[in-house]
Chain A
Amino acid sequence: GQSLEQPSEVTAVEGAIVQINCTYQTSGFYGLSWYQQHDGGAPTFLSYNALDGLEETGRFSSFLSRSDSYGYLLLQELQMKDSASYFCAVRDRGGYQKVTFGTGTKLQVIP
């Protein structure tokens, strides 16, 4: 089976940097994704890591360490609009590469 752990809530100040961690346990790992979901909205894809290291996309970066079964999402120059829930998701190697989502981290950006 698969399980993921991430903090339930994080608060950060506008303009600051925040890191959202995700640890996972899986029987066969293929890749780690991150999704953003605003209240009342649909999850939207942010990033995907299949290999160790940092992937940067604008103000957002995602990191993966396969040996530690750990990844994080880094948000820089926080803006109020970044207030949302952030989900990590693991893709496994079995069958059709099933995706399992974490419980999500609710980020509140304060002035």
Chain B
Amino acid sequence: ETGVTQTPRHLVMGMTNKKSLKCEQHLGHNAMYWYKQSAKKPLELMFVYSLEERVENNSVPSRFSPECPNSSHLFLHLHTLQPEDSALYLCASSQDLRGGVMDNEQFFGPGTRLTVL
């Protein structure tokens, strides 16, 4: 247990569906992240939030829409996805975005395995 939970753990959706991924961190951290992990590719940073403000939108298609209502919760809203969006979506948090190693260490959730049909 890393203190970061994600739901659902598995999700199968059609290309016309709308769904949301949820992430919650119980660590009192100020920064939260969404990553995409595909087979044989590096972890791809999608979005970064610091104190509920988005600080990075890494050229992610608009069919992915993040939401951070407070520093403990992060959502990823999905709509009209493509089969190539099938991947493991990982949420992470860190104490802060800057500072020393203990501030920057990222704690990852278990991920949501997404399959788009």
Interface string of A1-39 (1 = CB under 8 A from B): 000100010000000000000000000000101010000
Interface string of B85-108 (1 = CB under 8 A from A): 000001010000110010011111
- Across the interface, A44 reaches (CB within 8 A) one of B97, B101, B104, B108, namely B108
Is A98 in contact with B56, judged by CB distance below 8 angstroms? yes
**A residues apposed to B, CB below 8 Å:** 4, 8, 31, 33, 35, 41-45, 48, 50, 87, 89, 91, 95-104
Is B55 in contact with A101, judged by CB distance below 8 angstroms? no
Is A99 in contact with B45, judged by CB distance below 8 angstroms? yes
Q: What size tier do the contact residues of chain B reach? A: 20 to 34
Known contacts A96-B56, A98-B45, A98-B48; 20 further A-B pairs (Cβ under 8 A): A4-B42, A8-B40, A33-B105, A35-B106, A42-B2, A42-B110, A43-B43, A43-B106, A43-B108, A44-B108, A45-B106, A45-B107, A48-B105, A87-B42, A91-B104, A95-B55, A98-B56, A100-B45, A101-B43, A102-B42
